[in-house]
Amino acid sequence: MTSEPRPTRRRAPEVLPQSNDDCWCGSGRRYKRCHKGLEGRIEPGIVSPMRAVPDHIVKPGYAATGEVTRWNESAVKSPEIIERMRYAGQMAADILRLAGEFVKPGMTTNDIDVFVHDLTIERGAYPSPLNYHRYPKSVCTSLNEVICHGIPDSTVIEDGDIINLDVTCFVNGVHGDTNATFMVGDVSTEDRLLVKVTEECMWRGIEAVVPGRPLSDIGKAIEDHAKTHRMGVVRAFIGHGIGEQFHTDVQVLHYYDPRNNTIMKPGMVFTIEPMITLGTWQFHMWDDDWTAVTADGKRTAQFEHMVLVTDTGVEVLTAGPNAVSPGR
């Protein structure tokens, strides 16, 4: 049995009904109780089957079962693990850049997943998102109002969209994690500013990484910059410790909270990945339990780097001249 793909954007007629008229979609409900204000939003598409990874690729423990086993991994990494994380970070950065160059109007988000999946395997790595807590794909593709964890599917990318790609590689026993928001075709001035400010917010957070200081300095720097542009900072999704595990116990808030008072120490590795919105920071979850979208339907962007606390400041493990966001 096969099914036809569902429409992936809510399409409205050129002339919209009045609030109390029947909705244009044919539901029989009043327009104000149905599609009013929802036109153009992203809807779930068809998700294709999970792709296989060859036997010769070394896999994390969850790859076969989707079950994630946690252990008490040290927040401060050994020099040997840090060196492996530099390699993983640069690999992720390279794949992210190539994936961004690959994106164009008319392709589906699943096309991006196939590209990232194959590219990761070609480099001898495992795409970390694949089957992590049963996530079904090898990359996250978060389009327009999707905040994070968008699942690649049959959704067609259109001119004027913005899309965040979140790439993570598992190689040599560690994970390398980075993401960026890409503009597709002729993007509005408002959306271009959103993407610019979000990248700036990430770098403000990175610049706040100082040994001996609390993690809350990062959130304050990010929130202060977003507020100057009257943009929102998503609170529900945060940066995290990373290493031999995809996510460790270190929590990096992107807004100021004095309780986020873990002291940064040399050797700690974590991500800084602010999600900035044109409207509210509040969100809704889709029924897939992964995809988070802004509650008001306004667009959002995200950038992420994986950073190492050093004796004197910070080293960005996913930056460099070939990265999407190489540095300030």
CATH code: domain of residue 137: 3.90.230.10
Look at residue 18 and tell me if it is in a domain.
Answer: yes
Say how far apart CA 282 and CA 292 lie, in whole Å.
10
DSSP 9: B
In a domain, 96, yes or no: yes
State whether 127 and 216 are in the same domain.
Answer: yes
Residue 161 sits in the same domain as residue 17 = no
Q: Mark out the alpha helices in 25-78 (DSSP H runs).
A: none
Torsion of CA 74, 78, 84, 88, to 10 degrees: 40
Residue that has been written with the tokens 């060196």 in this structure: 83
153 shares its domain with 228: yes
pLDDT for position 17:
75
Structure confidence at residue 7 (pLDDT): 45
CA 275 to each of CA 101, 226, 281: distance values in angstroms, whole numbers, following the listed order = 22, 10, 9
Burial of 4 (C-beta count, 10 Å sphere; 0-12/13-18/19+): exposed
How many residues are present in the chain?
328
Place of tokens 């001996």: 212
246 and 296: one domain? yes
Domain shared by 34 and 137, yes or no: no
Alpha carbon 320 to its chain's center: 20
Same domain, 281 and 154: yes
What number of helices (H) and strands (E) belong to the chain? 4, 15
How far apart CA 317 and CA 30 sit, in angstroms, is: 52
User: What is the chain's Cα-based Rg?
Assistant: 20
Q: How far apart are CA 85 and CA 171, in angstroms?
A: 9
Q: What's the pLDDT at 20?
A: 81
Tell me if the pTM is above 0.75. yes
**Inside any domain, residue 187:** yes
Say what the pLDDT of residue 13 is.
57
Q: How many domains does the chain have?
A: 2
Residues 129, 17 share a domain: no
- Say how many C-beta atoms besides its own lie within 10 A of residue 149's C-beta: 20
Q: Read off the amino acid at residue 77.
A: K
310 in the same domain as 229: yes
Residue 50 inside a domain? The answer is: no
pLDDT of residue 76: 98
pLDDT, averaged in runs of 10, over the chain (328 residues): 43 67 69 59 95 98 97 98 98 98 98 98 98 98 98 98 98 98 97 98 98 98 98 98 98 98 98 98 96 97 98 97 89
Domain that holds residue 190: 74-316
What integer pLDDT is reported at residue 6 of this predicted model? 40
